[in-house]
Structure 1
Amino acid sequence: MSPRIGLNFNELLKTAIQIVDNEGWDVLTISYLAKKLTIQPPSIYNHVKNLDELKNSIALYGIQQLYEELHSSICDQSKEAIFSLAFAYIHFARKHPGLYQSTLSSTHTVGDEYTVVATRILELIIEVLKPYDVNEIDQIHIVRGLRSILHGFVSLEDHDGFGINIPIDESIRYVLKHYMMNIVS
């Protein structure tokens, strides 16, 4: 392999993201990334300390992209905003399965940039819940439930877990509608 002139961190990150989105989070290794970039593995270490640092960079990029998708999906403060946000979440996971998986990683430390963005997502969801007039503790329960519902749909769909010929988005809307109805009752 000949060396890659002009390789930089952004190109490295872009290629790593393509790997995780197209082939899976667990496929990414320093050796495999080097092969995709047609460079020797030690060249990767000019840009990252190790695989964990690279995966943390992907996770940070992923959580930032997820926040942007969620934020841009909300156009008003009505009770329908939760549906827009939920479908933006699902859309992101469908479009970027590897990036989505990276956002679920637990290797991040409290206080880092990742946690700051994750907190912004939580604040965004709580803002969307304002029309439901629920207290702070209930908001946390609702956010956890909502995340569980959405992740459940994403995970099952990703593993071909829905075999009945009814559109999945209809099921998502149905479950969310009934979940949110129970919040206000």
Structure 2
Amino acid sequence: MPRLGLNTEKVVREAASIADAEGLETLTLARLAGSLGIRVPSLYKHINGLGDLHRRLATIANVDMAAAIRDATVGLAGSDALRACCRAYRAYASQCPGRYAAAQRAPDPDDPDQARLRETGAELTSLALTVLRSYSLTGEESIHAARILRSAMHGFISLELLGGFGLPTEIEASFERLIDLLDKGLRSMGSAPAA
């Protein structure tokens, strides 16, 4: 018997809760169905398998991260915008680690089922490029800078989430120094004036 009131939104919300609390790798259709009090075949009324579920989580993550970064950086430029962007990115990843993990794989450009994911990912990239605009980066240099920024943030966040920082030095101070290094490096790449 189907669970009364169950819909796609509730299924995805429960999946997000599981992924954030227990890790994306623990999210299986069996685990999700059990949490919802239904059998696995009933999930297919709402989603098209685990891949579809991961795409939906990634889309939500992109939308939410874009909103957080947009809100944090509005009216800011240069190092102030960079610092706000990095802090918002880290805060989202820390609060929603399962959704964040789902958003790390680039969507397939040829898969029509991934159109919405591509769209939300492009919005997030556009925000990063807007933050980087103050550094006088253009063309391919701006893409390299966006990749560098994402790689630095992802590396730090991943180590932090996995408990990889065991030395007694303040983690927050290390994060702020990372942003300082990024700021200096981006200025060097774009020959932008100091803020």
The list of structure 1 runs, each at least 4 consecutive aligned residues, that deviate by more than 4 angstroms after superposition, is none
Give the TM-score, by structure 2 length: 0.88
Deviations, residues 138-162 of structure 1 (Å, cap 9, x unaligned): 2111111111110011111111111
Question: Residue 63 of structure 2 aligns with which residue?
Answer: 64
Question: Residue 131 of structure 1 aligns with which residue?
Answer: 134
More moved, 4-13 vs 127-136: 127-136
* Residue 3 to residue 135, structure 1, CA distance change in 2 (3 Å): closer
Q: What is the SS of the residue equivalent to 1:104?
A: coil
Q: What's the offset of the Cα at 1:75?
A: 2.5
Question: Residue 83 of structure 1 aligns with which residue?
Answer: 83
Identity %: 28
Distance 2:89 2:2 in 1: 39
How big is the alpha-carbon RMSD for the aligned residues of Structure 1 and Structure 2? 1.5
Q: What's the offset of the Cα at 1:136?
A: 2.0
> Structure 1 unaligned runs (5+)?
none
Distance 1:9 1:43 in 2: 11
Question: Residue 168 of structure 2 aligns with which residue?
Answer: 165
Q: What's the offset of the Cα at 1:56?
A: 1.3
Question: Residue 95 of structure 1 aligns with which residue?
Answer: 95
Q: What's the offset of the Cα at 1:170?
A: 1.5
Between the two proteins, the alignment pairs up a number of residues equal to: 183
Distance 1:59 1:161 in 2: 24
Distance 1:117 1:63 in 2: 6
Question: Residue 48 of structure 2 aligns with which residue?
Answer: 49
Distance 2:24 2:58 in 1: 11
Letter in 2 for 1:144: R
Distance 2:76 2:100 in 1: 26
Answering whether residue 8 of structure 2 is matched by residue 9 of structure 1, we say yes
Q: What's the offset of the Cα at 1:51?
A: 1.6
Q: What's the offset of the Cα at 1:28?
A: 1.2
Distance 1:33 1:52 in 2: 14
